């Protein structure tokens, strides 16, 4: 099977036959919106630029680096289909395109997608030519720069970034790729671990013809040793099967401990090979993996694998110099996790960004907790409700099987619901997003409105950028914690109250230390030593609290004008990282 280290863009459903389409494409702005009338999808304009996909045109790594507004852009490239793919279905995949995309192959519209953070694909078999023939691929993208009712996260609706908002991302910003499959194939797989029973539950959607002559072979290995080899007859297009893992271990001395559970300290993963066979012929073969871990809340305690666990998270915006939302390399995603772990953090809250699946692969592999968060709208409207609801459901569907994800955050700091504290309609939207999340995933906690003005949440997440002295006073008791009002915002919206959920300080710190470029932070220091001592003061105040069960420090890196990172924007340490680790390990 394909090696995950080859940067396969969908790491939990891996096939050998795929082709990366990243690289140099033709590109054109369409400020006058004449592309459709002039049929650019058939004949791309001669007056054009080139762009390095998957970097957005605003990013320097794209080769363009233009931060100004261009709401409609077009892409073009040619591609050929490998000769050994003949007779197979050819699927065209897009990791993410912000915000609306129309995709044409050889002059024909093959798909439309709305949503800037989630993948989509199309079967292009009927419109392409094989052999060495050049197929024409054209993508039209529309990204309304000033529309604040689309899920945009930290992308600013003005041309120049400012305050907590950054340069926008328009168009293709994750990998574009081709894949060859048989008509009968595995369309989707989903893993749900149950450590209490020692089971892993496999769900699979199977496309094409199935019946008594259709078999699914499942091989599961752990640390190079095969522990499961099962064959399942596939009678229907949806398959659900629980497979016991615990009883497959010949050495049972440590089955309830870290020997096979997944955690940041022991990121154990099980490797899987699945083969779909019909009438004696292999129709599909994919590689996957899963982790056996459990996230739960028991008597007000946040639990990992049935034991209380203190989360020490760092806020990670997922922006990169030169690339914006797109990492310059797969290794850069891995490096961010390595650096955070080096400082003693056991996870990250990916803030206002739906991260590339390759980041989640490294979090699974290296052992790193992740709070998955939706990029929010900035204003409320019926369109905003529909857009964020649809896209958030796709996010959960995409990322459900990653063991590293331990919480879902659909809404943050009342963004897009600015009147939620008092207005029932926006409270109902907050509740709807919470219950939508729970309807799709019962295995993880969800927060209705991270930071303050919660309706119903499984975790009481509080944002507080106060001094160490104020933090220590605020979090002496549960009562003082839920009645403090950092930023003059109530922790619960009108009509809602604390129900015993774990209390965590999910944004704090924000200590600015200027290294080279000027910028801002929530507070400021003048030296590396001062940064360490300021971090020590606010973090120790939380670690001493008898009610706080976890924290998330703001933040991992500087981003553009925001300089409150422990690392610079280009990932250089601002202080001795070992000293940060020593504080976190107190």
* pLDDT, tens digit, 9 for 90 and up, residues 74-104: 999 999 999 899 999 999 999 999 999 999 9
Across the range 470-489, mean pLDDT stands at: 94
Q: What is the DSSP letter of 420?
A: T
State residue 454's pLDDT score: 98
Residue 565 has which token pair? 């990172």
Instruction: Please give the tally of structural domains in the chain.
Output: 3
For residue 246, the model assigns a pLDDT of 85
Whether residue 170 has pLDDT greater than 50: yes
Question: Residue 253 pLDDT more than 90?
Answer: no
Helix (H/G/I), strand (E/B), else coil: 439: helix
Across the range 282-303, mean pLDDT stands at: 96
Q: Residue 82: which domain range?
A: 4-181
Which pLDDT band, with edges at 50, 70 and 90, does 5 fall under?
A: very low
**Cα–Cα distance for residue pair 230/150, rounded to 1 Å:** 45
Q: How confident is the model at residue 247 (pLDDT cuts 50, 70, 90)?
A: confident
| 385 and 519 housed in the same domain | yes
Same domain, 286 and 302: no
pLDDT of res. 502: 98
Mutual angle of helices 577-584 and 528-543, in 10-degree steps: 10
Residue 56's pLDDT is 98
pTM of the model: 0.95
Q: Are 528 and 575 in contact (CB under 8 A)?
A: yes
Calculate the alpha carbon distances from 426 to 73, 357, 393, 453, 487 in Å: 34, 31, 19, 11, 20
The pLDDT of 195-208, averaged and rounded, is: 96
Q: Is the pLDDT of residue 549 over 50?
A: yes
Percent of the chain with pLDDT over 70: 97
Kindly state whether residues 430 and 316 are assigned to the same domain: yes
1 versus 579: the higher-pLDDT residue is 579
Average pLDDT over residues 246-253: 66
CATH of the domain at 220: 2.60.40.10
Note whether 583 and 540 are within 8 A (CB). Answer: yes
* pLDDT category of residue 257 using cuts at 50, 70 and 90: low
Q: What is the CATH number of the domain that holds 136?
A: 2.60.120.260
Distance (Å, rounded) from C-alpha 415 to C-alpha 411?
Answer: 7
Provide the pLDDT for residue 258: 58
Helix axis angle for 382-399 and 357-366, nearest 10°, is 40
Residue-wise over 118-154: b if at least 16 C-beta within 10 A, else e? Answer: bbbbbebbebbeeeeeebbbbbbbbbbbebebbbbbb
User: 39 and 110 in one domain?
Assistant: yes
Q: What is the DSSP letter of 71?
A: -
Residue 514 has pLDDT above 90, yes or no: no
Based on the domain organization, do 144 and 212 belong to the same domain? no
């Amino acid at each position: 099977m394909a090696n995950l280290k080859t940067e396969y863009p969908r790491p939990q459903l891996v096939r050998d036959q795929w082709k990366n389409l990243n690289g140099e494409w033709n590109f054109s702005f369409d400020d006058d919106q004449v592309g459709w009338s002039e049929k650019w999808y058939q004949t791309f304009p001669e007056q054009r630029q080139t762009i390095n996909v998957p970097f957005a045109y605003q990013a320097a790594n794209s080769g363009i680096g233009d931060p100004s507004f261009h709401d409609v852009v077009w892409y073009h490239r040619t591609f050929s289909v490998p000769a050994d793919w003949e007779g197979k279905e050819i699927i065209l995949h897009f990791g993410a395109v912000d915000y609306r995309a129309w995709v044409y192959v050889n002059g024909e519209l093959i798909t439309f997608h709305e949503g800037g953070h989630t993948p989509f694909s199309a079967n292009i078999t009927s419109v392409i030519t094989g052999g060495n023939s050049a197929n024409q691929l054209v993508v039209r993208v529309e990204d309304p720069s000033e529309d604040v009712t689309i899920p945009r996260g930290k992308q600013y609706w003005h041309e120049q970034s400012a305050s907590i908002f950054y340069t926008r991302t328009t168009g293709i910003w994750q990998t574009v790729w081709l894949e060859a499959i048989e008509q009968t194939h595995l369309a989707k797989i989903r893993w749900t671990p149950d450590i209490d029973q020692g089971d892993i539950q496999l769900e699979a959607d199977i496309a094409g013809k199935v019946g008594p002559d259709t078999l699914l072979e499942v091989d599961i290995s752990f640390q190079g040793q095969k522990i499961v080899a099962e064959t399942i007859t596939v009678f229907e297009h949806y398959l659900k099967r629980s497979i016991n893992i615990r009883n497959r271990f010949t050495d049972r001395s440590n089955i309830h401990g870290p020997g096979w559970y997944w955690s940041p300290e022991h990121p154990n993963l099980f490797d899987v090979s699945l083969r779909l066979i019909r009438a004696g012929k292999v129709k599909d073969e994919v590689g996957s993996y899963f982790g056996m871990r459990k996230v739960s809340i028991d008597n007000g305690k946040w639990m990992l694998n049935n034991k209380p666990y203190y989360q020490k998270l760092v806020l990670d915006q997922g922006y990169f110099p030169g690339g914006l939302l797109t990492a310059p390399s797969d290794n850069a995603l891995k490096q961010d996790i390595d650096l955070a772990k080096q400082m003693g953090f056991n996870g990250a809250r990916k803030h206002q960004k739906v991260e590339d699946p390759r980041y989640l692969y490294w979090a699974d592999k290296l052992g790193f907790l992740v709070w998955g968060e939706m990029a929010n709208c900035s204003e409320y409207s019926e369109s905003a409700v529909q857009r964020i609801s649809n896209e958030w459901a796709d996010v959960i569907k995409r990322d459900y099987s990653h063991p590293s994800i331990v919480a879902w955050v659909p809404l943050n700091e009342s963004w897009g619901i600015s009147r939620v504290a008092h207005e029932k309609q926006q409270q109902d939207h907050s509740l709807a997003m919470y219950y939508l999340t729970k309807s799709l995933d019962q295995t993880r906690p969800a927060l209705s409105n991270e930071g303050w003005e919660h309706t119903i949440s499984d975790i009481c997440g509080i944002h507080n950028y106060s001094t160490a002295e104020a933090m220590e006073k605020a979090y002496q008791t549960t009562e003082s914690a839920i009645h403090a009002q950092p930023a003059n915002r109530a922790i619960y919206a009108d009509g809602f109250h604390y129900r015993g959920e774990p209390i965590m300080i999910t944004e704090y710190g924000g200590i600015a230390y200027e290294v080279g470029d000027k910028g801002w932070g929530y507070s400021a220091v003048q030296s590396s030593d001062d940064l360490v001592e300021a971090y020590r003061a606010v973090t120790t105040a939380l670690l001493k609290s008898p009610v706080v069960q976890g924290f998330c420090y703001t933040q991992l890196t500087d981003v553009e004008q925001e300089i409150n990172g422990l690392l610079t924007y280009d990932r250089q340490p601002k202080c001795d990282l070992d000293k940060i680790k020593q504080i976190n390990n107190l």
